[in-house]
Structure 1
Amino acid sequence: MSAPGPLDLPAVLSALAEQRPVFHSEADFQHALAWAIRERHPNMKVRLEYAVTLDGKRGHVDIRLDDADGPKVVELKYWTRELDLIVDDEEYRLREHGREPLARYDLWRDIARIERLIDDKLVGGGHIVALTNVQGYWNAGRPGTIDEGLRIHEGHVVHGSLSLSPKAKPGTTKGREKPIELRGSYVTRWRPYSQPAEVPGGEFRYLLLDVGAGLRAS
């Protein structure tokens, strides 16, 4: 068996969008993306829910793979607004995800975690893929919100210490009180994924962040 080439996630996602323009859940997205990676890179080892340990704490990453550059991890996010539609005779009923501030915090926390995995030489690189039909993620939004420092809108540059605003209610930030410390520098660029319906919420875009590149840019 020949060695696997480098992972080409944009090409994988472009091909996946042709077959699966929408998903029922994050788990559905995870399994479909892993299958699409194997289809494009048949010699690549791909694992789901791979166990990792940091600071003595056991956890898991969504996808772990081995490409030409060594082991990599991919963490996924699938944020939706309510939408009912039928695609290729399959019915989808997407629920309202809501709580955008917490979702942004969790994304950057995953980035910091992948940075640590790279620093500890447990993996050679990693990516975050966030897929959504919620325009509030790729649009700038109004100032003064509790997650202003965690924004991921188009073209935003993110680095350093990130946290939810002290103005946030304690119940809102439970489990997310600790600031996130990023070593890398990241520019958030959104790409079109699909538009399975000409209705509000019918357009999907994705954010792809390369953690290794972010660390090299810092």
Structure 2
Amino acid sequence: MDIDIKHLMELLAKQEDVFESEAQFQFDLAQLIRDNYPSYKVKLELTTATTLKNNRLKRLYTDIIVLDKDGNFIAIELKYKTKSSEYNGVKLLNHGATDLGRFDYLWDVHRLELLKKKDNTAYEFNKKLKTCVKCFAIMLTNEKNYWVVNKQSRNTLFKDFCISEKDEIIAKKPLSWYKPNNKSCVDGTWRDVSLTFNNSYNFKWNDYKYDFKYLVTEIK
């Protein structure tokens, strides 16, 4: 079981102009997978695991699940981040907060590692999903601050969460928010956590169209 993500992104760039939302990106990529891999089923926002948090059931959803007839699957998480811009009459919003955007992308990688191994006893995994064959985290953006190395970022809140091609994740090394004054904008939010990965990762940004680039991280 396999899909060629790079080829799908190339087809998507030829077929579509720009997306107005992440939901549109998700829907169109899912449809493209259906068209190119008709033997697979494609599900959106499927519950892949549940856990108890503060005595309340919490569901973990995955953006795209690709299933074969035996229940083996490929999991895909998406992020679509834009700056204020216009392409052929389509106006895009300015999402800003690239520090949070970086964290959110790496949070996807972290969650996909969890889903691929299924070895965390705090979670009950969807029994209809058998072997996780592959997982991909994808970010599509026209905001260059995600892929450009910013020397000033070395001493900022998000310094551990940078995802340029000069950055890397080292297995078992915790990533944390940099808080020299013990205060930050993530205090008291769900993002105020450290992330530790089972594997090491490098980042490779690819041209999409116009000034958009995309990043694909395949979970090991």
TM-score by length of 1: 0.84
Describe how 1:25-174 pairs up with structure 2 within 5 A.
25-56=21-52, 57-66=58-67, 70-86=72-88, 91-120=89-118, 123-141=132-150, 142=152, 143-159=154-170, 160-167=173-180, 169-173=183-187, 174=189
Runs (5+) with no aligned partner, structure 1: 196-202, 213-218
Question: 1:215 maps to what in 2?
Answer: none
CA shift for structure 1 position 99? 0.5
CA shift for structure 1 position 54? 4.2
Query: What secondary structure does 2:111 align onto?
Result: helix
Counterpart amino acid of 1:181? T
CA shift for structure 1 position 183? 0.7
Deviations 1:134-157 (A, max 9, x none): 111111112211111110002422
Runs (5+) with no aligned partner, structure 2: 53-57, 120-124, 126-131
For the aligned residue pairs, the C-alpha RMSD in angstroms reads 1.9
Question: 1:12 maps to what in 2?
Answer: 8
Deviations 1:8-47 (A, max 9, x none): 1100110110011310000010001001111211211110
Question: Which is worse superposed, 112-121 or 94-103?
Answer: 112-121
Deviations 1:37-83 (A, max 9, x none): 11211211110011122434312110001259931110000010001
CA shift for structure 1 position 169? 3.8
Answer yes or no: is the 8 Å Cα contact 1:154–1:188 preserved in 2.
yes
Answer yes or no: is the 8 Å Cα contact 2:149–2:166 preserved in 1.
no
Question: 2:128 maps to what in 1?
Answer: none
TM-score by length of 2: 0.83
Question: Which is worse superposed, 166-175 or 148-157?
Answer: 166-175
Q: CA separation in 2, counterparts of 1:165 and 1:28?
A: 34
Query: What secondary structure does 2:102 align onto?
Result: helix
Counterpart amino acid of 2:36? R
